[in-house]
Amino acid sequence: PTVLVLPFIALFRLSCYAYRKDYHRHVFKHPMACLNDERMDSSKRKYSGETGFFALNNFHRYFFYIGLAILPFFYYDFYTSMFYQGGFFIFRIGSIVILANALLLTLWTVSCHAFRHLIGGSVDCYSCLSHGSGVKKLFNGQSFLNLYHEQFAFVSLLVVVAVDLYIRALVAGWPVDFTFFKIAI
């Protein structure tokens, strides 16, 4: 059930550097932007970085593994959205919405800097590996995706909420789904 994995996903999102930057700057006003000469908050309050409670952010890599393990279930949801009614392949708006959700969550997850640990972030010499050129290409591709990690993070968050509302509307009986085609198999 979702309730069991929700804390891990929430910790994965909250410990993501795309979100950390925003909540440190905008909620806690720490650290202020470099152009400001003086701090806008109380002089009694010192910037402590990621210590104390925020040391949990250092567990982001481990929350990443849990998030990576959950991704296949989103693609399973896409599969069942097309084959749920026995004997038919049905392609509808709901299938597209669920697929978009799965793809955006995948892009957000694999663009994460923690993914580098899995694909060769600790390798010092790619040419020394027997499959080094492939690992280097994968690493470079992930580096490109990482440039857009913050955008993927926020768009996927909005899409997760939109998909949840869409599915709730379907369950409530609202006529928001349109079938493109239905094929007997």
Q: Is 106 in contact with 70 (CB distance < 8 Å)?
A: no
At 49-69, the pLDDT tens digits run 556 665 666 777 888 888 899
Domains of the chain by residue range: 2-111+148-184
Q: How confident is the model at residue 98 (pLDDT cuts 50, 70, 90)?
A: very high
pLDDT for position 29 = 63
Per-residue H/E/C for 57-108: HHHHHHHHHHHHHHHHHHHHHHHHHHHCCCCEEEEEHHHHHHHHHHHHHHHH
Between CA 114 and CA 105 the distance in angstroms is: 15
Buried b / exposed e over 30-48, threshold 16 CB at 10 Å, is beeeeeeeeeeeeeeeeee
Residue 142's pLDDT is 87
For 146, the 3-state DSSP assignment is helix
Say if residues 17 and 64 touch (Cβ distance below 8 Å): no
